[in-house]
């Protein structure tokens, strides 16, 4: 028996075409699905347009609307959900849903690097990949949120867009894909399911700023964040999670003001670690009270910190959430 799969459209390059003003979403999701007749061999499909925009214009309101649409389809009996989405912020949308969905029904994001009217557009193949992975009972029974792209399936927590235009743009540094598709099978390489922290509500009201360290970077951006009265700061350090001396001093000030500080690394792979004890070193930052984010990249740490601070009055909740487990 074929599974029942709902396709939820949000726009992105997969739904875009080009005209004199540039490339923009113009195709409805129903058009995208009917353009790939092979989909019907694998599942019974329903299609729903949620929003239509490029992913670089996505906001929290749009993702909450998408989350509600997912809940509606699950309540309606869907065995799995496919979300078509732009690639620029796909990993953030997927991770945010993975942390806030209270459902065991798997959700698979997919999209395209080439617009629908380009030569060798990759949208149809990626859409077929997303539907095919949801025919696998092991994935349907495990839940979680994923990205399916170029015949690979990645967990929302670990995946990142590594290239501006390559068709195999998505990868999971250090971890690898959950599964790879062959012509006739879904081959699992990691256990499917969610690898993300779980939050009871979609509450992201806290204000969080991101600040980057680098050669010669001073404390101005961090001091401006303190003056603005933000709730939290994600500080993207270098290497294992180190910053310039002046930024390190400003971190101590931020923490004294009651502002939570989470330290990430600008490195593509690997985890942070409090090692160096000099001014701005990771160990010094930790001694001030900053929390290291393990291998979570800056853009995902920002979303997680927003959720933590929006739903937890205790500052200890930040440390517990980021340091307790791999999530």
Point out the residues that are catalytic.
13, 87
Angle between helix 316-323 and 298-311 (nearest 10): 140
Query: What is the rounded CA–CA span in Å between residue 99 and residue 264?
Result: 19
Query: Residue 113 in contact with residue 88, Cβ under 8 Å?
Result: no
Find all residues with CB under 8 Å of 116, minimum gap 6, and list them.
14, 15, 16, 17, 27, 32, 123
Query: What is the rounded CA–CA span in Å between residue 233 and residue 12?
Result: 30
* Residue 316: C-alpha distances to residues 2, 121, 289, 291, 313 (Å): 47, 48, 10, 10, 9
Query: What is the rounded CA–CA span in Å between residue 138 and residue 143?
Result: 9
Token output for 327:
């999530």
């Amino acid at each position: 028996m074929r599974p029942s799969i709902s396709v939820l459209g949000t726009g992105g390059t997969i739904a875009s075409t080009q005209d004199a003003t540039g490339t923009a979403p113009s195709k409805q999701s129903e058009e995208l699905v009917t353009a790939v007749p092979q989909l019907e061999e694998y599942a019974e499909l329903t299609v729903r347009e949620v929003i239509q925009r490029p992913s670089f214009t996505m906001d929290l309101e749009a993702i909450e609307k998408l989350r509600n649409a997912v809940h509606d389809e699950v309540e309606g009996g869907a065995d799995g959900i496919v979300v078509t989405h732009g690639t620029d912020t796909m990993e953030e949308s997927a991770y945010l849903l993975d942390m806030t969905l209270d459902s065991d029904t798997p959700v698979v994001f997919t999209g395209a690097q080439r617009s629908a009217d380009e030569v060798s557009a990759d949208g149809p193949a990626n859409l077929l990949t997303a539907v095919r992975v949801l025919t696998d009972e092991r994935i349907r029974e495990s839940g979680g949120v994923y990205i399916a792209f170029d015949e690979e399936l990645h967990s929302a927590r670990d995946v990142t867009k590594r290239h501006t235009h390559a068709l195999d743009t998505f990868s999971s540094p250090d971890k690898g894909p959950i599964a790879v598709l062959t012509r006739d099978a879904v081959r699992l390489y990691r256990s499917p399911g969610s690898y993300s922290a779980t939050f009871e509500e979609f509450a992201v009201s806290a204000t969080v700023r991101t600040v980057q360290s680098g050669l010669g970077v001073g404390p101005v951006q961090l001091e401006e964040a303190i003056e603005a009265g933000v709730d939290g700061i994600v500080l993207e350090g270098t290497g294992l999670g180190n910053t310039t001396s002046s930024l390190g001093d400003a971190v101590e000030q931020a923490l004294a003001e009651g502002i939570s500080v989470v330290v990430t690394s600008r490195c593509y792979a690997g985890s942070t670690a409090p090692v160096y004890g000099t001014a701005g070193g990771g160990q010094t930052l930790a001694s001030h009270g900053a929390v290291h984010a393990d291998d979570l990249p800056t853009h995902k740490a920002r979303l997680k910190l927003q959720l933590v601070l929006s739903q937890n009055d205790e500052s200890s909740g930040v440390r517990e959430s980021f340091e307790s487990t791999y999530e």
